[in-house]
Structure 1
């Protein structure tokens, strides 16, 4: 999930699946090959746990990583050779035979397959070890990183500390005999895993009744105190303190560990924060507003950002899973009926995926609710893909009518588009988007399930299509005459558009349109302000402009790094932070270096804080184990937005060895757009805050440079 802290291995195991857990892209390929072979040999589906730092990570992968030797063992069951055969009839007695096969020879094949292949590996077999550490996937790499941060950077140092290491490629089932061999002679086994005691319980069961069985700790230590964190992200930085506690129990080790990082002074809470926000010209800036006193339901999609933005008129009282939008009203209506009308937001991609079932459920339940079907013609939250199985609006109205929706109004920014499309369902009305509030009032007065289809293409997707020449560029541009503007902010309040930006002048606060980010939605004109002027841009490409001659930079001698070089990037979502990380990583690979890292992706972070990590070394062997930059480890701190970079959580990656490169331009937050009284960030204070956490700092007005170079 992009939003909910969760683990998947318990669920997969509950379905009766063996579960593999890769920690890198290479392990995804290698374990994937084993998983396919295991499935064919046993007839079992094979689950794979993928955590965010793997799914959103970047890695250097050798093309030969999929060349693995797979051993498919022979299995005898009840005195005869066994091989999997499908039992297609799942009614008695065939279903009983299938159950017996699943819990008998099929699971037996899983166990012998795991034993026959190097899926679970003792990475470090220290003969006289006192401590064994068991971890799978990403958690194992975090353990190695945390040990390195404690001063146990190589195998010899770990052996010298009396530690044995077991890397699990399969976290379910646990290989009992391997676990018992691993635990033999140990005093303590430490299990490191995310969230709950899943592997820990299985390890404890495997070691039960073993002569001189070691004590098993993990989520709790031997005294029952919390040890490995069970909430939030499990990172190498979060494991340093628990590992120090365990290792320091041996007096001879306590003095050999690297000293704790001296805690830096606590940074004050910033008065301004950057939060995710709708793109300039996003349809949701207008479509998510509801009449005063209404109940507004949220769901999954970009429109869910209304839950992060305290904007009067669009606040939601509930959020549901994808496909459950509006179903909560079936239970709530008995308690709230007569108090207010319920509007439920739902994207067209969600509707095509599973949301249509919630609409049908409300029809069947006989409740009165208005679905606002936000028809944006792209799954913008994850990159602008087409909504699989989606229908054009006319076909959608006919489907909804056939399923019991009593009234439909389509509000569109370009109603004329429907002259070329098929006809609507009988009774469907087509209005301009400016009549949104009127349409909502009309639908709220109708009993039963009603639908308002708000048809306007995703602003980000429209921008992409215009750049590709697939839809025409809108020639009308909006500018503000600052001599007339009174800085009241009404245009920002009505449009909620990030391109309508406050601008401080010698005459006080004014407003201007940022032409570089404007997506020509024109909602700002709803303010009906005399300072607004529309102009027609000339057709064709812009005239060539004289560009300054770049300074001559002397070539520098370049040598591969001796260890790992760490870079941390911080900026605003939607401005290319992830792209820059990919460019830097690709450049390093082209120079023969090894890289890994992680990007903050998943849930849409447009206009919000986004970070990326990149670690570079001369070879894979020299690369630090974890793909995330740890506390005080960044060598280079690229601050594309000073407000995001000055956040204490991000500055934790900076230290005395860090050089920060900071863009000094101030980009308004969403709150500054819609609230004229909101205070903006103090650029000088932000830069000073970053400088206090770094060894050196280089400040550059990147936005001004971009305007000079690119217009």
Structure 2
């Protein structure tokens, strides 16, 4: 359809640079929505200079998705903006940012002191920020803008709650404060409508709203740079003598009515006149025989164009059927003249707009007074019978619009064509697979909130806005929340009617500075019992790691809290020594504690009447990582390693740290733990787990391949690789990229979009992130077509994904509804990356086979690649995995862009260029010459996951050998004798396999090989641990063993035994201690007299006896009971109090199962006599 501007000839833009997106005056550029909003003031400045005006630009507001990255982009281009006299000053909060903007429009009040002709200004904020800024909007708007200034208010609306507490649209807020609202449909309209909005604001004297949503502002597109517009003033509108703009001569309060009169009778009519004169609303299709009209608003216009394609309606079809299309840009106030011209002669009109019916209602009001035979029947949210047509809740897409059109035209000659096509839509959409894991967001590895949000037993807490809200509903007893700035105030109303007399309230330092202090002031005034935990993290991590606006430091914060009347303030820090040495900077009332003492501090404060506060000081983990990479923060030469042979897999390290970098490791001895060195941010809290398997490795570095020789080898091997054939683009290709936040998924999408742009194809990208940067699911939609006008929407509709790049198979499997069943090609990274739920449930199984099958079973072509394993082996970490995926997909002929375009896009991206290029080339080699890659592989830097493949006989033999090493051959024979007896009994049952024997072997081994001091020493002294060290680290390093030896470790204030660090000398002692195993169980065993060791020996005998009892009495009727009984001991894991709790947890179940078995339940007869175990 000729509904979008035509494209230039296709080629390859070899001169393109990222700066061109902001400086190129003609031709094509690739812009994201945020980029366009950075370019917008530059474009306005250019317009003013052409008009001979000496203006400046000013931008202020407060970050919030989907505009969360706007401030970062403005800072990134600070120099370019400053050169054009454009100033950026972020607000402490949204309404203060709006007040900053208000000030720029008062220039006429101080005309004699003015240094510019005017200041055009841009405010920004998410929808919630629009809500709280309505008072500023109302008052500033009624006063008016300056004649050569103008204000554009960018609102970030989130129709489908992609990254908000609830879905929201602010259209009616702008209507309430009487600000015209523009709603761009595409990224190029961010520019054309943006400058139109400023011109509208200047002419009418009104602030102008500018609606951005995820579909556009978080998308990217290859566009043609629009020419600078020439706006006209409406000749038919008489401008009053006093003008339409800010009038410094109006008196307040005497002329308050005059302010309102001018708003309603002059300015709003002026806005409508300007919109008509400059054709902001456009008739896209104008049928000569007008019968039916479709009116679209903003994003819904793209949905309509896609819907028409689905219904196979060409522009010629529309013209012949008498269907016209009108695209509304100014959704409030509706411009009446153009709409009336469009609607006259229509029989019916369908309004396509998301959320509540703003334009539809205005149209009905406009047409209300028309004669019956002239008035078109308007439908949108409801049809003429009052049935739902287009939803007002959530959002909608092309499929729903197509079905609505078919229903709307069901009584016309088009019905026979449209209804069958509409009925097919969605019929083949796949359902989500059941029983698979979900990739939920979780705190980053080493995040302060992993510890700071924990509460003492018996307490409850409340959340607020910030990363810490992820503690909500995670079993951490953080159950309620409030809006930003209201944290804790809800307890003022609630506490009177609750038996709880105290609550903890989390508040981030950004929120505190934004508006949270007022809530604390309210709590103090109300004399409630509440403890605020102010999480001082030195960054606004939730929206990308920006610095908090305004300085919030420990000294200023503590003084302010005390001055506000907070009764007791405690500082809890990861580095209390820093503040102990600077005690004079803090008020004398402040008490300083280490973060390990948080629980004690909280218990004390919850028993303290009134308002108390904890300042929890620890730098954001993601920010630490960024600063360390830039050399702005010391990177401690220390890492943790888990000796997986010593590890019991109890999960106490995850309980203590809540850290996602502590991952499951499946070994031949069962599930253990490992530290993912790629994602670890060195918080070290996992070492608090009560377990001797942790070693601190100080000095040295992670072992990496010899990168220089690796680079040369990859370059040499990939030289001469031919380009794979690219798929044809008869229709735009829809590519779904699915992965984990923070792993570079959005980079993959951005590179694909840029590569297509460089080849002068049409391309769009669209990102769905939410909280995904916190290890959650992130999804990107990429579309590539021969021409920009071939792509009408950036979002991939259900059942339309042509290619899946599954950088994480869990996230990929969750996108099944998008798959084109039987046609989609899929490349999936088969790495088993733990999900957030594993931190809370260490028994959680990863259903890798089922997850992969849910994709493979519906794909036309399926390719599997363990990209993480290759990336770690070749490059030393998993960061390179996604670029390897891109290379693999490119060489398989799956991507619609060439390798040279992708490599140029990598160069333009400017981040780790050499490594990313080599990762991309390595991926290509894995297709064409996998042997070349295999020859480069060095031993893995971490222990590889092992799937047990051995037979039961091999398993028993291996465990017996291990028990011989553990104690003696005689000790091992006790094990094999019991297992062989059970195996014989199981084999006598014709329907049985060897499942029971395997379970019994694992359980009995675990009970007999309990890890006492001798065994821990042996497992540290053996070759396996030394090999693990060599494969993980290189250089000059020393070890510290983190243990709690009975003779040295002491309990803390809570009675919990604390681990201590034992130096490298212990490595010489351990082999000597290991040889002491011959004393185990004898009178000379000094460790054996403890209650813990006596219990271990008793337990081993008890499990062995149970194996023999089962062997004697096994029958077909009790085999299930036997299996449950003999598998239970595998749940006893850990050390010390952790292991004791596991014992206690299964004890009653164990006894009950034994009694049932011994009583003959389910058996074929009376139980035989037991064989005693000595």
Question: What is the TM-score normalised by the length of structure 1?
Answer: 0.94
2: CA distance between counterparts of 1:581 and 1:611?
A: 9
- Measured after TM superposition, the shift of residue 252 of structure 1 is 3.4
Secondary structure of the corresponding residue to residue 568 of structure 1: strand
Is 2:410 aligned against 1:242? Answer: no
Residue of structure 2 in register with 1:150 after alignment: 311
1: CA distance between counterparts of 2:773 and 2:703?
A: 31
Is 2:821 aligned against 1:661? Answer: no
Deviation larger for 545-554 or 112-121: 545-554
8 A Cα contact 1:568 1:613, kept in partner: yes
8 A Cα contact 1:349 1:387, kept in partner: yes
8 A Cα contact 1:10 1:198, kept in partner: yes
1: CA distance between counterparts of 2:586 and 2:180?
A: 50
Is 2:797 aligned against 1:630? Answer: yes
- Measured after TM superposition, the shift of residue 601 of structure 1 is 3.2
Map Cα deviations across residues 317-372 of structure 1 (whole Å, 9 max, x no partner). 21111111111111111112x52421000101111111111111111222121100
Is 2:463 aligned against 1:298? Answer: yes
Q: What are the within-5 Å matches in structure 2 for residues 642-661 of structure 1?
A: 642-647=809-814, 649-661=815-827
**CA spacing shift, 1:399–1:78, aligned 2, 3 Å:** closer
- Measured after TM superposition, the shift of residue 26 of structure 1 is 1.1
1: CA distance between counterparts of 2:650 and 2:413?
A: 67
2: CA distance between counterparts of 1:477 and 1:187?
A: 74
8 A Cα contact 1:75 1:109, kept in partner: no
2: CA distance between counterparts of 1:233 and 1:553?
A: 46
Q: What are the within-5 Å matches in structure 2 for residues 189-588 of structure 1?
A: 189-211=349-371, 212=373, 213-255=375-417, 258=421, 260-261=424-425, 262-264=427-429, 266-307=431-472, 310-311=474-475, 314-336=476-498, 339-418=500-579, 419=581, 423-538=585-700, 544=706, 547=710, 549=714, 550=717, 553-556=721-724, 561-588=729-756
Residue of structure 2 in register with 1:187 after alignment: 347
Is 2:844 aligned against 1:678? Answer: yes
1: CA distance between counterparts of 2:871 and 2:306?
A: 38
- Measured after TM superposition, the shift of residue 121 of structure 1 is 0.4
Secondary structure of the corresponding residue to residue 353 of structure 1: helix
What runs of 5+ residues in structure 1 fail to find an aligned partner?
none
8 A Cα contact 2:734 2:783, kept in partner: yes
2: CA distance between counterparts of 1:90 and 1:611?
A: 55
Secondary structure of the corresponding residue to residue 438 of structure 1: helix
Is 2:199 aligned against 1:37? Answer: yes
Residue of structure 1 in register with 2:1150 after alignment: none
2: CA distance between counterparts of 1:59 and 1:422?
A: 55
Residue of structure 1 in register with 2:281 after alignment: 120
Q: Pick the aligned partner of 2:210 from 39, 42, 48.
A: 48
2: CA distance between counterparts of 1:285 and 1:78?
A: 61
Secondary structure of the corresponding residue to residue 242 of structure 1: helix
1: CA distance between counterparts of 2:633 and 2:276?
A: 58
Deviation larger for 554-563 or 199-208: 554-563
Secondary structure of the corresponding residue to residue 497 of structure 1: coil
Secondary structure of the corresponding residue to residue 305 of structure 1: helix
**CA spacing shift, 1:78–1:41, aligned 2, 3 Å:** closer
Map Cα deviations across residues 628-654 of structure 1 (whole Å, 9 max, x no partner). 11122222111111111111x444243
Residue of structure 2 in register with 1:171 after alignment: 331
2: CA distance between counterparts of 1:458 and 1:79?
A: 56
**CA spacing shift, 1:138–1:324, aligned 2, 3 Å:** same
Secondary structure of the corresponding residue to residue 255 of structure 1: helix
8 A Cα contact 1:228 1:239, kept in partner: yes
Name the count of aligned residue pairs.
702
- Measured after TM superposition, the shift of residue 557 of structure 1 is 5.4
8 A Cα contact 2:813 2:851, kept in partner: yes
Question: What is the TM-score normalised by the length of structure 2?
Answer: 0.58
1: CA distance between counterparts of 2:569 and 2:600?
A: 13
8 A Cα contact 2:738 2:780, kept in partner: yes
Residue of structure 2 in register with 1:615 after alignment: 783
1: CA distance between counterparts of 2:226 and 2:380?
A: 35
**CA spacing shift, 1:88–1:515, aligned 2, 3 Å:** farther
2: CA distance between counterparts of 1:685 and 1:443?
A: 49
Residue of structure 2 in register with 1:58 after alignment: 220
Map Cα deviations across residues 378-435 of structure 1 (whole Å, 9 max, x no partner). 0000111100013211111111111111111111111233335861122101110000
2: CA distance between counterparts of 1:592 and 1:265?
A: 34
Secondary structure of the corresponding residue to residue 50 of structure 1: strand
Query: Which gives a bigger RCO, structure 1 or 2 (Cα 8 Å, sep 6+)?
Result: 1
- Measured after TM superposition, the shift of residue 594 of structure 1 is 2.1
Map Cα deviations across residues 423-457 of structure 1 (whole Å, 9 max, x no partner). 11221011100000111112212222111011111
- Measured after TM superposition, the shift of residue 675 of structure 1 is 1.4
- Measured after TM superposition, the shift of residue 263 of structure 1 is 2.5
8 A Cα contact 1:372 1:451, kept in partner: yes
1: CA distance between counterparts of 2:552 and 2:474?
A: 33
1: CA distance between counterparts of 2:865 and 2:823?
A: 20
8 A Cα contact 1:371 1:452, kept in partner: yes
**CA spacing shift, 1:272–1:601, aligned 2, 3 Å:** closer
8 A Cα contact 2:741 2:769, kept in partner: no
Secondary structure of the corresponding residue to residue 621 of structure 1: helix
Deviation larger for 287-296 or 13-22: 287-296
Secondary structure of the corresponding residue to residue 542 of structure 2: helix
Secondary structure of the corresponding residue to residue 111 of structure 1: helix
**CA spacing shift, 1:541–1:265, aligned 2, 3 Å:** closer
8 A Cα contact 2:430 2:816, kept in partner: no
Deviation larger for 280-289 or 227-236: 227-236
Deviation larger for 603-612 or 288-297: 603-612
Map Cα deviations across residues 43-87 of structure 1 (whole Å, 9 max, x no partner). 11111121221121112233335x112112246659869553524
Map Cα deviations across residues 678-710 of structure 1 (whole Å, 9 max, x no partner). 222x22221221122322111111101111221
**CA spacing shift, 1:540–1:268, aligned 2, 3 Å:** closer
Secondary structure of the corresponding residue to residue 634 of structure 1: coil
Residue of structure 2 in register with 1:18 after alignment: 180
1: CA distance between counterparts of 2:835 and 2:249?
A: 59
Deviation larger for 204-213 or 342-351: 204-213
**CA spacing shift, 1:472–1:62, aligned 2, 3 Å:** same
8 A Cα contact 1:133 1:164, kept in partner: yes
**CA spacing shift, 1:421–1:467, aligned 2, 3 Å:** farther
- Measured after TM superposition, the shift of residue 27 of structure 1 is 0.8
8 A Cα contact 2:430 2:799, kept in partner: no
2: CA distance between counterparts of 1:76 and 1:21?
A: 24
- Measured after TM superposition, the shift of residue 89 of structure 1 is 5.3
- Measured after TM superposition, the shift of residue 657 of structure 1 is 2.9
8 A Cα contact 2:445 2:661, kept in partner: yes
Deviation larger for 104-113 or 426-435: 104-113
8 A Cα contact 2:431 2:817, kept in partner: no
